[in-house]
Structure 1
Amino acid sequence: MTHTQELADLLETLCPIFLLVDRSGCIQQAGPTLQKLRPELPLVGLGVLDVFELIRPRTVTTLPALMSMAGAKLHLRFRDEPRTTLKGLVAPLPESGGAVINLSFGISILDAVRDYALTSADFSGTDLAIELLYLVEAKSAAMEASRSLNLRLQGAMLAAEEQAYTDTLTGLKNRRAMDHLLGHLILANSTFALMHLDLDFFKSVNDRLGHAAGDYVLQQAARIMLEETRGDDTVARVGGDEFVIIFKNLTRVETLESIAGRLIARLNEPMMFQDQPCCISASIGTALSTQFKVPKAADILHAADVALYQAKRDGRSCHRLYSTLIKAQT
Structure 2
Amino acid sequence: MTDPRELVSLLETLCPMFLLVDQNGCIQQAGPTLQKLRPDLQLVGQGFLDVFELIRPRTVTTIPALMSMARAKLHLKFHDEPRTALKGLVAPLPHSGGAVINLSFGISILDAVRDYALTSADFSGTDLAIELLYLVEAKSAAMEASRSLNLRLQGAMLAAEEQAYTDTLTGLKNRRAMDHVLAHMISANSAFALMHLDLDFFKSVNDRLGHAAGDFVLQQAARIMLEETRDNDTVARVGGDEFVIVFKGLTREDTLEAIAGRLIQRLNEPMLFQNQKCSVSASIGTALSTQFQVLKAADILHAADLALYQAKRDGRSCHRLYSTLTNARP
TM-score, normalised to structure 1, is: 0.90
Is 2:187 aligned against 1:225? no
Q: Kindly indicate whether the alpha-carbon contact (under 8 Å) linking 2:322 and 2:328 is maintained by their aligned counterparts in 1.
A: no
C-alpha displacement of 1:328: 3.9
Q: Measure the CA separation in 2 of the matches of 1:255 and 1:88.
A: 83
- Give 1:19's aligned residue: 19
C-alpha displacement of 1:5: 5.1
C-alpha displacement of 1:304: 1.3
Q: Measure the CA separation in 1 of the matches of 2:63 and 2:254.
A: 90
Is 2:27 aligned against 1:42? no
Q: Kindly indicate whether the alpha-carbon contact (under 8 Å) linking 1:310 and 1:326 is maintained by their aligned counterparts in 2.
A: no
Q: Kindly indicate whether the alpha-carbon contact (under 8 Å) linking 1:306 and 1:327 is maintained by their aligned counterparts in 2.
A: no
SS of residue paired to 1:327: coil
Amino acid at match of 1:17: M
Q: Measure the CA separation in 1 of the matches of 2:55 and 2:327.
A: 85
Amino acid at match of 1:262: R
SS of residue paired to 2:327: helix
Give the share of equivalent positions with the same residue, in percent. Answer: 87
In structure 2, do the counterparts of structure 1 residues 146 and 202 end up closer, same or farther at CA, with 3 Å as the change threshold?
same
- Give 1:168's aligned residue: 168
Amino acid at match of 2:79: R
Amino acid at match of 1:273: F
Q: Kindly indicate whether the alpha-carbon contact (under 8 Å) linking 2:307 and 2:325 is maintained by their aligned counterparts in 1.
A: no
Moved more, 223-232 or 9-18: 9-18
Q: Give the aligned CA root-mean-square deviation in angstroms.
A: 2.5
C-alpha displacement of 1:177: 1.1
C-alpha displacement of 1:72: 2.6
C-alpha displacement of 1:94: 4.9
C-alpha displacement of 1:115: 3.3
Is 2:180 aligned against 1:180? yes
Q: Kindly indicate whether the alpha-carbon contact (under 8 Å) linking 1:76 and 1:85 is maintained by their aligned counterparts in 2.
A: yes
In structure 2, do the counterparts of structure 1 residues 113 and 325 end up closer, same or farther at CA, with 3 Å as the change threshold?
same
Number of equivalent positions: 330
Q: Measure the CA separation in 1 of the matches of 2:56 and 2:290.
A: 73
In structure 2, do the counterparts of structure 1 residues 13 and 309 end up closer, same or farther at CA, with 3 Å as the change threshold?
same
Amino acid at match of 2:313: R
Amino acid at match of 1:118: L
SS of residue paired to 1:142: helix
Q: Kindly indicate whether the alpha-carbon contact (under 8 Å) linking 2:30 and 2:44 is maintained by their aligned counterparts in 1.
A: yes
In structure 2, do the counterparts of structure 1 residues 236 and 96 end up closer, same or farther at CA, with 3 Å as the change threshold?
same
Moved more, 172-181 or 72-81: 72-81
Q: Measure the CA separation in 1 of the matches of 2:55 and 2:192.
A: 67
SS of residue paired to 1:180: helix
TM-score, normalised to structure 2, is: 0.90
Is 2:248 aligned against 1:248? yes
Q: Measure the CA separation in 2 of the matches of 1:297 and 1:240.
A: 21
- Give 1:51's aligned residue: 51
**5+ unaligned residues in a row in structure 1: which ranges?**
none
Q: Measure the CA separation in 2 of the matches of 1:59 and 1:249.
A: 78
C-alpha displacement of 1:325: 3.8
Q: Measure the CA separation in 2 of the matches of 1:189 and 1:61.
A: 77
Is 2:134 aligned against 1:113? no
**5+ unaligned residues in a row in structure 2: which ranges?**
none
Amino acid at match of 2:38: R
Moved more, 11-20 or 173-182: 11-20
Is 2:126 aligned against 1:126? yes
In structure 2, do the counterparts of structure 1 residues 230 and 66 end up closer, same or farther at CA, with 3 Å as the change threshold?
farther
- Please give the residue correspondences for 1:75-224 in structure 2 after superposition, counting only pairs within 5 Å: 75-224=75-224
